[in-house]
Amino acid sequence: MAILFRCPCGRSMVADAGRAGTLIHCPSCHRTLRVPSGKERGKELAAVPPEAMAHSTRPCDRCGASVPVDTQICPHCRTILSASPSAAGTGSAAPAGGAEIRSATAVLYGVSRATWWSCLSSGAKAGILGGLAGFLILVGVSSALLHSSWSANQTVQARDQAARALAQGPELEVQGKFQQAYDLYFPALARAERFLKAGGRQDDRRLYDGLSERLSALRCIVPEPRVREPVRWRPANQAEFDAAAQQLVAEYPAYRQRILAVADAAIAAIQNARANNNQTAYAQEVRQVVDAFIRFTNQTTPPQRAQYTYEMLTQAMRELTSANGEWETGRKTYLAQSEARLKAIKDLAQQRPGTLDGDKIM
């Protein structure tokens, strides 16, 4: 009969029943094990035929321990085994350690090879797992620190870019270069929206709001706004048009007051330019008019911006600023065109709201 038991490393072991209580070596983890006896005895197996044992094990040339036939180095005494074993089967040579170690010859065929992990002790496994956990924690902390540093750097860059855009953009606007100002605001706003909008600093929020307001107004005046939806509102059907017209009538008094304020400020700047011929003073007044136009635009609704008077105002703003940009050559022409358009806006603003001119609401 034979006894089946398992080494702590996970390898299944088979020993002769007569070897119970003696010591054997595990070929996988090299532990010295005592064959179970008494109540600790494992499952008993039928005796293994000698020919089967001979084909699965061989004796070590030096210590006589039974080792698998495909082993090249004895796991017990570390002796290099010859290609042609001196004897087959379980072997008969006695190891130097005594009769108990000779019981290693009881290890038979059919055992399972353990993985490297199962051969490790509990302390080694704990060490590996602890090291792996420490490594993952270190990677996580390092990644968090790197991301925090990167985010802080991006916030500083977004802050600087927004401040530069708000300083340079208005100078371009008063010269009639609305498209250049728009192209300056657009990337600055994209970065500010990511790194400044949700921040806790009031100055950052002010930078974001300033970019957003100017970009929102300028898209109504530039020839190439970077938007997917149409800039000008158009009713999808008659019912939508009728609802918008009713809303325009209700809100028209406030709209009229705001657009007249912008028109009056622009006309005053034109009249001062003719009287004084001072470009510096005119540029300052135009900048105030442009700021008023931007505030007015952000106070309107899409249907209100679809009105004929608002479209006329955007053209008047182009002419007003172009007079400053071409002061020596086109000043008189642009001033005259802008003034005529602004006066027409004031006349139209006195009419009943909701009046149609083509497909536009006045």
CA distance 170 to 178: 9
The Cα-based distances of 132 to 118, 145, 159 in angstroms read 18, 20, 40
pLDDT at 71: 66
10 Å Cβ neighbour count for 129? 10
CA distance 293 to 338: 14
CA distance 242 to 248: 10
10 Å Cβ neighbour count for 48? 18
Give the global pTM: 0.62
> Burial letters for 317-332: b for 16+ Cβ neighbours within 10 Å, e otherwise?
bbbbbbbbbebeeebe
pLDDT at 184: 97
The identity of residue 235, as a single letter, is P
Instruction: Going from the first residue of the chain to its last (362 residues), give the mean pLDDT of each consecutive group of 10, the final group possibly shorter.
Output: 76 76 81 74 55 64 77 72 50 41 40 60 84 88 81 91 97 96 96 89 94 96 88 88 87 93 97 95 97 97 90 96 95 96 92 56 51
Candidates 313, 175, 338, 337; CA nearest to 255 is 313
Residues 6+ apart with CB under 8 A from 114: 7, 9, 10, 11, 28, 29
Candidates 65, 64, 83, 82; CA nearest to 27 is 65
pLDDT at 13: 76
pLDDT at 109: 37
pLDDT at 353: 65
- Domains of the chain are 2-106 (no CATH), 132-218 (1.20.58), 238-361 (1.20.120)
pLDDT at 214: 97
Candidates 305, 288, 144, 303; CA nearest to 216 is 305
